[in-house]
Structure 1
Amino acid sequence: MMDSPRTVLVLLFVGLLAGCGSSGPRPEAKRPAPKAAVGPVVEVSPVVVSPYSEAELVAEFERAKALLLAGKHHEAAEVFDKLERFAPDGEIGAASLYNAAVGYEALGERETAAARHRELLRRFPGHALERSALFRLGRVLAYLERWSELVVVADKLLARKDLVVLEQIEARGARALGLVEQDLVDEAAREVSVARDLVERERLGVSGKPPIELAQLWFAVGEVRRKRSEAITFVPVPPNFAETLEKRCQGLLDAQGAYTEAMRSLDAHWSAMAGYRVGQLYQELHRDVMRVPPPAAADTLREKQLFEGAMRLRYRVLLEKGLDMMKGTARLGDRTGEASAWIGRAREAERALELALADEKAALARLPFTEEELREALEALKKKP
């Protein structure tokens, strides 16, 4: 059943007004008619038989839209799915695909939401809602950590000529995030550089709560800085250990600054991601620095034990800082209901850091030195080249 011009205009208007959108028709599937015993095979296009008249389809669409706006996402998504099956052509089918995706996303069923958006984009290229569907799909993919597909979607967005500045920033942030999580750090750095130039030019987020689109960008900046910082290691021990350690610590602080900017958007999901990463920065630095072997000059058991104790005492604070961040991130999940994988990772890291701190204290207790003696050993270490 084809939609009349009036139906098309009505559905497009009400869909966009509701913030749920609409789009175009599903092409009719072709299947061969049953073969006769002899003669050529004739293929015909089947007719979709709908139990609804055109007016009833419009009324059902309106009912589904009202359910969606009322927060009854499950019921709305089911109706939109049904409408898409019965009226695959024109604005009813397209709007139903898009709105069903919105409903499933609100339910937390992001895989299903992504599938609806992909279907809309595949079947209706160039539709009025293509841009909205691409942005929504990109956000879902970032949540699901589908990094390679996120880059593909970002490329499609950046190829468009109708993006406003904030949309350009979001698309570049998405592309940078997809790249850096695939360890394409230099490519990601170029993307965030372009996006940050736009942010600075428009003075976005200078005062007050920054737009949510900036959270993804700043998280991507943090990821670039984190990966570059953690590429600095201490085994084998570099000849300029103090300078190398300072460079690693500066990279940590720079990455933490970017993650903190992501948290300023006050979005629970991006804050959870950023909070976990900050805690991880301290956890990883502690792991790497504690791999440093005793210096060659420490050639007696006592000197080796002094070195071990001094290192444990000095760098225990890294575990404490990491633990504080993981606890804060877990509390964020409790407070906001955020239940992504990042909250789960923070809770696992919290338990691991608690065990690591307990191990550090037990190891210090086993050494034949007081903390005062270890602090004196630390001071001696600082004075040595």
Structure 2
Amino acid sequence: MFFFTRTCLALALAGLLAGCGSSAPRPEVRTPAPKAEGGPVIEVSPVVVSPYSEAELVQEFERAKALLLGGKSREAAEVFDKLTRHAPDGEVGAASLYNAAVAYEALGEREASAARLREHLRRFPGHVLERSALFRLGRALAYLERWAELVAVSEKLLARQDLAVLEVIEARGARALGLVEQDLVEEAAREVSVARDLVERERLGEAGKPPIELAQLWFAVGEVRRKRSEAIKFEPVPPNFADTLEKRCQGLLDAQGAYTEAMRSLDAHWSAMAGYRVGQLYQELHRDVMRVPPPAAADTVRKRQLFEGAMRLRYRVLLEKGLKMMEGTVRLGDRTGEASAWIGRAREAERALELSLADEKAALDRLPFTEDELREALEALKKKP
């Protein structure tokens, strides 16, 4: 019994030190055949049939851990999954389930990793690896864009009493992100406000590269600012159009500032997300501002054409800025190997912006005005929108 207890403790510590884990198919079990029809039904606990002795389980666990630490994640995941089947209830099973999740995360298979982390949390509540499993699951859910589940996991973390300050910031950033992506903007704003107070109190990220935990928080700040900015519309045209446009543009710049802070952590995934969003800010502003109809004073075809040309010339720069950001994001993906959905979105947006710029040029070419005439009209627009 003494050997068994020390072995279990060693396995739990091994899981922590390896920073690793996983879940897998249900174990094969032998259950008694039911009684003849009409007889009593007797329920018994399933019996796991394992080909390994306790010592062999430990040996296999150590082998899998060595594979994982040696960068052989696929082989490690397979062994950890096998151990989870053959030792589902003890420390070998718990540590193997967690370590398999780490192995699949290293392979970029976040769905598989998240499934094993969920299973670990369900089967081993209160386990020594529970906090680590919650954080890993939260990061996987942010990557997979499972926003409602991300909020639920972050709330479990925030209910704990053993989090360090940086972990509290990460959990609040995760909750804010999950909320804002479900359009719960004001609730998310309150969450990021609390997290930013902690960042300022601890003076985090003021010198050098900020901790990766701040990237998620700053991205959430950017999302709150973006959604508030894009809620400002120009249809119908507001009586104070110039002030409304100025407010929308200031919101864009504020959001861009937050996304830039997220990029400072130099994480490829968060940088790709932030880069795409900055490009999208300019793309969406161009779309909305170009929907502004001609003023009542444009009561002839020529005047309406002049207004259209001036607007196209003035706001084409938004498309150019958006395209520049999308191109940079795509290059980031090519350079780092980042292959998330955000890189795919950036590629699609890049093509769309290239087409939009070509359409703008063609539309300007069709108008019966020189560029100088359009610039004169632009000056008039600036004086009285």
TM range (shorter): over 0.9
Q: Does 1:142 align with 2:135?
A: no
Distance in structure 2 (CA, Å) of the matches to 1:38 and 1:324: 75
Q: How does 1:82-97 map to 2 (within 5 A)?
A: 82-97=82-97
8 Å CA contact retained: 2:27, 2:85: no
Distance in structure 2 (CA, Å) of the matches to 1:152 and 1:30: 36
Specify the SS of the correspondent of 1:238.
Answer: coil
Distance in structure 1 (CA, Å) of the matches to 2:46 and 2:236: 71
In the alignment, what sits opposite 1:57?
57
In the alignment, what sits opposite 1:282?
282
In the alignment, what sits opposite 1:220?
220
Distance in structure 2 (CA, Å) of the matches to 1:314 and 1:46: 73
In the alignment, what sits opposite 1:344?
344
| Residue-by-residue CA offset, 1:241-282 (whole Å, 9 max, x unaligned) | 000000000000000000000000000000000000000000
Deviation, 1:36, is: 3.3
Distance in structure 2 (CA, Å) of the matches to 1:316 and 1:158: 46
In the alignment, what sits opposite 1:187?
187
Deviation, 1:109, is: 1.1
In the alignment, what sits opposite 1:131?
131
Distance in structure 2 (CA, Å) of the matches to 1:128 and 1:67: 23
Deviation, 1:305, is: 0.6
Which has the higher mean CA deviation after the structures are superposed, 44-53 or 196-205?
A: 44-53
In the alignment, what sits opposite 1:334?
334
In the alignment, what sits opposite 1:202?
202
Q: Count how many residue pairs are aligned between Structure 1 and Structure 2.
A: 383
CA RMSD of superposed structures (Å)? 2.0
In the alignment, what sits opposite 2:236?
236
Specify the SS of the correspondent of 2:47.
Answer: coil
Amino acid of the structure 2 residue aligned with 1:45: S
Taking every aligned residue pair, what percent have the same amino acid on both sides?
87
Distance in structure 1 (CA, Å) of the matches to 2:72 and 2:173: 32
Deviation, 1:10, is: 1.2
Distance in structure 2 (CA, Å) of the matches to 1:234 and 1:102: 48
Unaligned runs of 5+ in 2: none
Amino acid of the structure 2 residue aligned with 1:312: R
8 Å CA contact retained: 2:173, 2:216: yes
Deviation, 1:34, is: 2.1
| Residue-by-residue CA offset, 1:316-355 (whole Å, 9 max, x unaligned) | 0000000000000000000000000000000000000000
In the alignment, what sits opposite 2:76?
76
8 Å CA contact retained: 2:15, 2:98: no
Amino acid of the structure 1 residue aligned with 2:112: T
Specify the SS of the correspondent of 1:43.
Answer: coil
In the alignment, what sits opposite 1:119?
119
| Residue-by-residue CA offset, 1:16-59 (whole Å, 9 max, x unaligned) | 12222799xx9998956421356422222232121111111100
Q: How does 1:281-300 map to 2 (within 5 A)?
A: 281-300=281-300
Deviation, 1:117, is: 0.4
In the alignment, what sits opposite 1:177?
177
8 Å CA contact retained: 2:232, 2:248: yes
8 Å CA contact retained: 1:16, 1:22: no
Alpha carbons of structure 1 residues 30 and 226: separation in structure 2 relative to 1, 3 Å: farther
Distance in structure 2 (CA, Å) of the matches to 1:185 and 1:112: 31
Deviation, 1:89, is: 2.1
In the alignment, what sits opposite 2:314?
314
Amino acid of the structure 2 residue aligned with 1:134: L
Deviation, 1:110, is: 0.8
Unaligned runs of 5+ in 1: none
